[in-house]
């Protein structure tokens, strides 16, 4: 007991100050929200596409060049071959509509969306999540688990992962939804009481990512892009979803 | 480490690939009969934030008579996709890295070694050192996380809390080197996509020294606590003979062969591997010059089956690929160390109470997605 107390004193208070008092402590080479130069041509997009690990993450249409954050793995290879793409340190990537994940060329400024849905705002002080891992690589699960450690301690905001969908306000989905997980996902989603939300975390859950996408049981109310999303991205998105940020 | 084998026909090459093995589900749930017999079904959706799998505990009274493990929920066709993506290295690499997220670095290394074996790509000694460095960081992060979780499962909260935080430090060190906490996109055929300039090297070394002290204190407390040791000692034993018969690999094999194969042994081996990994890291980081001019290591071969083995944190990770005469990839096979060890977990539970499942499971911490692919 005394040994534990001494060790506790030595290790000190370790819960981070993000997001209440400071920004996140992101790595030096962190790749956040990309920006596309207004001058980007179809040729530039083709060049970037040639090194992209995902299908259809980059595209070109009547409105010009675009990048789909819902598919992007943030590997940064496109920026290496095409200097008109630049990855910024913007980690606030969570959005409430699929269309908002499309980054357009020549975007002037970016401000993440604010929550207006009263049913989501009602969860400001208590937000219970049930996680369903459906065919992913488990990196998204690992970095979701991290939020429960004392370094992030999302419990201080009333957010936690619960054991049963019966107790959940939202289903936190990771993975591309493999054929063998479709039924289990549908049943788990159905078992959560109304009103409920679906959160798609990671490129796989949003679009299938590198893999074939299964069937989403509902339209997600929150999209958290990344492969996997950084814990700071996830925590910020969850807090903004319920109107705490 | 790569090994190249030549086959006359693609059929013989493919059958060689299949012979590398993998996990096979029990054919069906075999009913257990008797007055005290009952079954407990768990999964595929588990209570924690973990991957899906189905466990069927067949019990006689309080004791587990037999545990059947059904996997395959995570199957998404990684091997087939890698073959289909032939010619698109970034995609193949990303697929390899997502076999199992916690083993991304080892998988990227194995995949890269395969490509290096059939192309004239050379890898510099500096890149090889950087790869080893990332691999050891991956090993430590996972072992620390698991030891912390093990402490949590026996309600020894100081170590559980400390290790949860300390594991994050190692992931952040990986991110310092390459920008991603899991080492994604860091290793590529021919070398690495990141470098370790002097200021990063110095920062990493100092960081590692500080964190190592905290880690030592956290682990010492756990292993010196009689309540923890008593709980882990003699629980979930896989005897040496059984371990060899099943063909366990990695941490689980070492625990059964070098010690007595219980949860405590697996925990001790993990602590030992953490120690060894740190020694290696300090050695790697003490080399000041980045470009030491050592001759690059080159592999070449024209047409073959290439088998690459990497010492991942759970044990040997095997990737193998078959290439035809035009160097087109025609087959790919991955054997995660977990594939060999699930049977060991099932064995460890025999005669135990179901309540011992969490600590037995944590002591192995096998990958579902790495097995299902």
Task: Report how far residue A147's alpha carbon sits from residue A158's, in angstroms, rounded to the nearest whole number.
Answer: 12
Quickly state the pLDDT bin for B31 (edges 50, 70, 90).
confident
Task: Report how far residue A85's alpha carbon sits from residue A76's, in angstroms, rounded to the nearest whole number.
Answer: 9
CATH 3.40.50.12280 fits A118-241, yes or no: yes
Asked if residue A162 lies in contact with residue A128, where contact means CB atoms within 8 angstroms, the answer is yes
Asked if residue B153 lies in contact with residue B359, where contact means CB atoms within 8 angstroms, the answer is yes
CATH assignment of the domain containing B298:
1.10.645.10
Task: Report how far residue A63's alpha carbon sits from residue A220's, in angstroms, rounded to the nearest whole number.
Answer: 26
Task: Residue A76: list chain B partners with CB under 8 A.
Answer: 179, 185
Beta bridge partners of B72: none
Per-residue pLDDT at B125: 86
Distance, in angstroms, between A15 CA and closest chain B CA?
Answer: 9
Task: Residue B72: list chain A partners with CB under 8 A.
Answer: 180
For the cut 70, the answer to whether the pLDDT of residue B292 exceeds it is no
For the cut 80, the answer to whether the pLDDT of residue A207 exceeds it is yes
Interface of B with A in 153-172 (CB under 8 A): 158, 161-162, 164-165, 167-168, 171-172
- pLDDT for A68-94, tens place per residue? 999 999 999 999 999 999 999 999 999
Do A28 and B368 lie within an 8 Å CB cutoff? no
- pLDDT for B87-133, tens place per residue? 899 999 999 999 999 999 999 999 999 998 888 888 888 888 999 99
Separation in Å, CA B239 to CA A217, B198, B235:
46, 48, 12
For the cut 80, the answer to whether the pLDDT of residue A196 exceeds it is yes
Give me B322's structure tokens: 């078959």
What is the percent of chain B with per-residue pLDDT over 70, rounded to a whole number?
Answer: 96
Per-residue pLDDT at B58: 92
Pairing of strands A197-201, A222-224: parallel
Which domain range does residue B64 map to? 2-372
Pairing of strands A170-174, A222-224: unpaired
Distance, in angstroms, between B146 CA and closest chain A CA?
Answer: 12
Q: Does A7 touch chain B if contact means CB atoms closer than 8 Å?
A: yes
Give the residue extent of every domain in chain A: 118-241
Do B175 and A30 lie within an 8 Å CB cutoff? yes
Asked if residue B177 lies in contact with residue B134, where contact means CB atoms within 8 angstroms, the answer is yes
Task: Report how far residue B241's alpha carbon sits from residue B83's, in angstroms, rounded to the nearest whole number.
Answer: 38
Beta bridge partners of B204: none
Task: Report how far residue B315's alpha carbon sits from residue B332's, in angstroms, rounded to the nearest whole number.
Answer: 20
Lowest mean pLDDT among A6-10, A145-149, B320-324: A6-10
- pLDDT for B261-291, tens place per residue? 999 999 999 999 999 999 999 998 887 655 5
Per-residue pLDDT at B291: 52
Crossing angle of helices B125-153 and B198-223, rounded to 10°:
30
Task: Residue B200: list chain A partners with CB under 8 A.
Answer: 28
Number of folded domains in chain B? 1
Per-residue pLDDT at A4: 82
Q: How many CB pairs under 8 A join A and B?
A: 166
Interface of B with A in 329-368 (CB under 8 A): 367-368
Q: How big is chain A by its Cα radius of gyration, in Å?
A: 19
pLDDT averaged over chain A?
Answer: 92
Do B49 and A76 lie within an 8 Å CB cutoff? no
Phi-psi region of B213 (alpha: psi -120 to 50; beta: other; left: phi over 0): alpha
Over residues B213-237, mean pLDDT: 94
DSSP letter for A95, please: B
Per-residue pLDDT at B19: 84
Q: Does B72 touch chain A if contact means CB atoms closer than 8 Å?
A: yes
SS (H, E, C) A77-90: HHHHHCCCEEECCC
Instruction: Report the SS3 class of residue B238.
Output: coil
For the cut 70, the answer to whether the pLDDT of residue B50 exceeds it is yes
Per-residue pLDDT at A70: 95
- pLDDT for A145-194, tens place per residue? 999 888 899 999 999 999 999 999 999 999 999 999 999 999 999 999 99
């Amino acid at each position: 007991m005394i040994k534990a107390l001494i060790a506790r004193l030595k290790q000190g208070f370790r819960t981070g100050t993000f997001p209440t008092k400071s920004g996140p402590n992101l790595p030096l080479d962190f790749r956040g929200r990309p920006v596309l130069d207004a001058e980007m041509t179809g040729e530039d997009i083709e060049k970037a596409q040639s090194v992209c690990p995902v299908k259809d993450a980059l595209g070109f249409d009547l409105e010009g060049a675009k990048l789909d954050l819902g598919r992007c793995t943030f590997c940064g290879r496109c920026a290496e071959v095409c200097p008109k793409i630049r990855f910024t340190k913007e980690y606030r990537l969570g959005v409430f509509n699929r269309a908002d994940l499309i980054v357009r060329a020549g975007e002037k400024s970016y401000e993440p969306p604010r929550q207006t849905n009263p049913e989501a705002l009602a969860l400001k002080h208590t937000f219970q999540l049930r996680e369903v891992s459906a065919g992913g690589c488990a990196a998204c699960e690992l970095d979701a688990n991290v939020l429960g450690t004392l370094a992030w301690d999302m419990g201080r905001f009333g957010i936690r992962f619960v054991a049963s969908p019966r107790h959940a306000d939202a289903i936190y989905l990771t993975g591309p939804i493999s054929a063998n997980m479709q039924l289990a996902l549908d049943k788990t989603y159905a078992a959560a009481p109304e009103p409920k939300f679906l959160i798609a975390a990671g490129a796989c859950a949003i679009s299938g990512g590198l893999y074939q996408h299964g069937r989403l049981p509902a339209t997600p109310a929150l999209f958290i892009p990344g492969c996997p999303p950084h814990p700071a991205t996830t925590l910020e998105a969850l807090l903004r979803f319920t109107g705490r940020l | 480490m790569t090994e190249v084998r030549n086959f006359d026909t693609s059929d013989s090459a493919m059958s060689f690939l299949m012979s590398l093995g993998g996990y096979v589900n029990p054919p069906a749930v075999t009913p257990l009969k008797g007055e005290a017999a009952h079954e407990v079904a768990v999964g595929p959706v588990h209570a924690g934030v973990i991957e899906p799998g189905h466990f069927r505990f067949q019990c006689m009274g309080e004791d587990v008579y037999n545990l059947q493990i059904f996997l395959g929920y995570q199957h998404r066709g990684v091997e087939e996709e890698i073959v289909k993506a032939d010619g698109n290295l970034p995609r193949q690499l990303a697929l390899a890295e997502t076999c199992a997220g916690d083993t991304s670095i080892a998988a990227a290394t194995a995949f890269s070694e395969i490509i290096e074996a059939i192309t004239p790509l050379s890898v510099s000694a500096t890149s090889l050192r950087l790869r080893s460095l990332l691999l050891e960081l991956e090993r430590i992060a996972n072992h620390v996380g698991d030891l912390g979780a093990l402490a949590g499962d026996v309600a020894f909260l100081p170590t559980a809390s400390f290790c949860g935080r300390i594991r994050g430090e190692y992931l952040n060190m990986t991110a310092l080197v390459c920008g991603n906490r899991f080492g994604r996109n860091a290793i590529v055929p021919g070398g690495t996509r990141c470098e370790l300039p002097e200021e990063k090297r110095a920062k990493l070394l100092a960081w590692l020294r500080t964190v190592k002290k905290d880690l030592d204190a956290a682990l010492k407390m756990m292993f010196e606590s009689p309540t923890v040791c008593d709980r882990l000692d003699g629980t979930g034993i896989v005897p040496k003979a059984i371990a060899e018969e099943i063909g366990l690999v990695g941490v689980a094999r070492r625990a059964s062969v070098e010690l007595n194969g219980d949860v405590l042994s697996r925990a001790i081996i993990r602590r030992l591997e953490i120690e060894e990994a740190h020694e290696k890291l300090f050695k790697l980081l003490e080399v000041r010059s980045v470009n030491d001019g050592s001759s690059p290591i080159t592999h070449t071969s024209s047409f073959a089956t290439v088998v690459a083995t990497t010492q991942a944190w759970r044990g040997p990770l095997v990737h193998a690929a078959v290439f035809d005469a035009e160097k087109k990839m025609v087959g790919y096979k991955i054997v995660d160390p977990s594939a060999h060890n699930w049977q060991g977990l099932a064995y460890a539970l025999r005669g135990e109470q179901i309540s011992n499942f969490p600590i037995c499971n944590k002591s192995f911490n096998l990958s579902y997605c790495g097995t299902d692919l």
